[in-house]
Amino acid sequence: MDIPQQISREFNLDVSQITHTLALINEGATVPFIARYRKERTGGLDENQIRDIMDKSRYYQELEDRRQTVLDTIQAQGKLTPDLKAKILAAKEKSELEDLYLPYKPKKSTRASKAREAGLEPLALWLYNLTSPQADLKEKASAFLNPDKGYDTPDKTLQGAQDILAEKLAENADIRKRLRETALEKGSFVSQVKKEFKAQKTKFQMYYDYSEDVKNIPSHRMMALLRGEKEKVLKVHLEFPREKAIAYLEKYFILHPESAAHDVLKDTAADALDRLLSPATETEIRKEIREKSEEEAIKVFGDNLEQLLLAPPAGRRIVLGIDPGFRTGCKMAALDATGRFLEDRTIYPNEPRKDTAGAQKILSEMIEKYAVELIAVGNGTASRETESFVRKVIKDLPAEKRPQCVLVSEAGASVYSASKTAAEEFPDLDVTVRGAISIGRRLQDPLSELVKIDPKSIGVGQYQHDVNQSRLKASLENTVESCVNRVGIDLNLASQELLKYVSGLTRQTASNIIAVRDEQGAFTSREGLKKVPGLGEKAFEQSAGFLRIREGEHPLDNSAVHPERYAFVERMAKSLKTTVEDLIGNTFLLRSVDPSSWVSDDVGMPTIRDILKELEKPGRDPRDVFKTARFSEDIQTLADLSPGMILEGTVTNVTHFGAFVDIGVHQDGLVHISQIADTFVKDPGDYVKVGQVAKVKVLSVDEDLKRISLTMLLDSEKNS
């Protein structure tokens, strides 16, 4: 198989785009680097297209390796015919290849293999090819009796022959493909509740007696069925038209309908279907649909994670992070504008101590001492009570000294607090104080802080614990890498956890950068990276453009312009009779440049346009402006909610069936897909994003199951 040609056809791209992309990857280039700095070679492919090409190339390479193994194995058996070889070479899918290999694949003992060992294959072939309507089957079978192998009667011998034929039928590649297609087109997944759960109310209640077409079932419902089965609440099976399948098998298998073997062969076809083909088909269909569902779930998780990582940062502002609590108090951590930890204190404004006077004194002192601009309150236990207390305190402060109070998601903060990373960063601090620091830093820069946490712990997934964990991990790491490099990183402030995601860097080179920075002070130029141990020319090429240096030696060190293009920009500035420093931000002068006049063999139009765009606003942050939701002070628990209430909240998770919104009651509410917009919504992600501030109306509240149903259709009659 010509892999680039095949991928080119599938993705409708020029084959040169595929070959150049694969060549760059083989040269050690990263996806962010290729997408940003090698557009001429790829024809402007984006990161998703490049990753798709990588994945498809890997799939076809694995297919080619497997194809060779199959050919070698069958050749060694002396059974590789020209026709079979042609079919194997033509296979485009792994499932198709495995179907062709199945009859020749070494397998454990089966009913058919036992019959073959007893010498019954000639009898099986005789039955299959029989044309006579008068032949005596039992008389023929008597000639094959083998008592030592357990075939001591004509009936047992005939059954053994049938077992051989049933297995041959079940291992036929064309039949297996046809049944899979039938199941995909006409089949249904059916679920029933197990008897011990019939009288119970569970989260799988809608699936207690349920059926949905295989071709239509959405990923989230398939994952729900599988989880219900895994938790032993549901029984799930695949149904497809048995009569049509039997009719097809009989037509395919029974060559001579008038022969005396007709009834035996008919029974054989039914046995092959019920005992071998149906279970195999269900296994394969389940695998196929599950993999598709997992891909969708992983994509949903990746999209949500991307939105969370790219959430608007509050920026370089002094923050007080608060990890709220009742009995153990609220841990407060003051952070300077760069996120550096300053001091921690504990207050007890809530039950059981309810020391509001003492808590107010300490909180006011810290606000005054550090000129706090923002207060980040974690949204876990005691969050609304603590937020309410904080708002009362700051309300009495002078307007010019009044910080803004923001409720911040603390999903995963406890995981970070107890992690090796947190212990290395703050070895002398209690885990709860580390949590308060993390909450505060999330407000300053969500990306820089969230990269320290296992993405699965951030809580924006859809059945993330049910999917293939290695694929999920790879996908989420790709998402984090993409976000980090899209934003760009301050070389002199970034943590090791953040640096390791920069294109071309590893955990070790990131550690080495920190060590050099600690020993020699802040980097003053990108060129200084070349002195970092273990960071060679290739790593420099891949990483330099994504690392920023404020007030660096070269004015472009704080931009996305790659060092390999500094000389190009210098020539451009000279031709415009100015300096690089004065050219940066000079919109009038930059827009007077004719990009086509600068195109050369070395620098193409895509790169020139990127450079001009970057020079207008160097180091611009692609993230939106910081904005937060205001929760109602009267609504703090589920019991405070009632249908019809209109509230402001923050979207915390987007799935294929809707969006979850935090409205400040410790339990996110669900806006079903039908309640997102007053039009047909195919993908909720087209309408809402994680981190978005939204107004919602309460439709219903189920306190037993802790479920809140919301709508975004505030003015529509659809929710009435």
Task: Specify whether 190 is located in the same domain as 278.
Answer: yes
In which domain, by residue range, is 434 found? Answer: 319-444
- Whether residue 720 has pLDDT greater than 50: no
Tokens of 482: 């993409």
The beta-strand segments (E) located in 396-526 are 404-408, 489-490
Query: Cα-flanking dihedrals φ and ψ of residue 448, to 5°?
Result: -60, -30
Better-predicted residue by pLDDT, 628 or 408: 408
Q: Does 527 map to a domain?
A: yes
Of the chain, the percentage scoring pLDDT greater than 70 comes to: 99
pTM score, whole prediction: 0.81
- pLDDT of the residue at 461: 65
Tokens of 430: 């209690």
Q: Does 626 map to a domain?
A: no
Q: Which of 695, 709, 666 is nearest to 409 (CA)?
A: 666
The beta-strand segments (E) located in 506-645 are 547-548
Domain count across the chain: 5
Tokens of 488: 């760009």
Task: Specify whether 291 is located in the same domain as 340.
Answer: no
- pLDDT of the residue at 106: 86
C-alpha span between 337 and 13 (Å, rounded): 47
Could you tell me how far CA 367 lies from the centroid of its own chain? 40
Q: Does 310 map to a domain?
A: no
Q: For the segment 273-290, what is each residue's pLDDT rounded down to a tens digit? A: 999 999 999 999 999 999
Hey, CA dihedral for 368, 374, 380, 383, is it positive or negative?
A: positive
Tokens of 175: 């039949």
Q: Does 358 map to a domain?
A: yes
For residue 636, the one-letter residue type is: Q
The beta-strand segments (E) located in 146-303 are 188-193, 209-213, 234-239
Tokens of 422: 């947190």
Task: Specify the CATH number for the domain of residue 53.
Answer: 1.10.10.650
- pLDDT of the residue at 462: 64
Question: What does each C-alpha distance from 138 to 6, 91, 119, 159, 628 come to in angstroms?
Answer: 54, 42, 16, 11, 84
Task: Evaluate whether 102 touches 171 at the Cβ level (below 8 Å).
Answer: yes
Task: Specify the CATH number for the domain of residue 646.
Answer: 2.40.50.140
Of the chain, the percentage scoring pLDDT greater than 90 comes to: 76
Helices 3-11 + 47-76 axis angle, to 10: 130
Task: Specify the CATH number for the domain of residue 538.
Answer: 1.10.150.310
Residue-averaged pLDDT of the chain: 92
Task: Evaluate whether 173 touches 297 at the Cβ level (below 8 Å).
Answer: no
Task: Specify whether 244 is located in the same domain as 292.
Answer: yes
- Whether residue 718 has pLDDT greater than 80: no
Tokens of 164: 């051989």
Choice among 226-240, 415-429, 568-582 with the minimum mean pLDDT: 415-429
Domain boundary residue among 444, 460, 484? 444
The pLDDT-based confidence of 459 (bands split at 50, 70, 90) is low
The alpha helices in 143-230, defined as continuous H runs, are: 154-170, 173-186, 219-230
- Peptide bond preceding 352 in cis form (omega within 30 of 0): yes
C-alpha span between 570 and 567 (Å, rounded): 5
